[in-house]
Amino acid sequence: MSDKVSEKRAKKPNAAASLGPNAEIGRKLKQYYESLIAEEVPDRFAQLLSRLDSAEAKLEKD
Partner 1 sequence: MPQPESFRTDLLAAIPSLRAFGVSLAQNADRADDLVQETLVKAWDKQDSFEQGTNLKAWLFTILRNEFYSQMRKRGREVQDSDGIITQKMAVHPGQLGVLDLADFKAALATLPADQREAIILIGASGFSYEEAAEICNCAVGTIKSRVSRARTRLQQILSVSGEADFGPDAISAQVIASTAA
Cα Rg of the chain (Å, integer):
22
Residue 19, class by beta-carbon neighbours within 10 Å (0-12 exposed, 13-18 middle, 19+ buried)? middle
Q: Which is nearer to partner 1, 2 or 42 (CB)?
A: 42
In degrees rounded to 5, what are phi and psi of residue 16? -65, -35
Site for partner 1 in 1-60 (CB under 8 A): 13-16, 18-19, 21-22, 24-26, 28-39, 41-42, 44-46, 48-49, 52-53, 56
| Contacting positions for partner 1 (CB under 8 A) | 13-16, 18-19, 21-22, 24-26, 28-39, 41-42, 44-46, 48-49, 52-53, 56
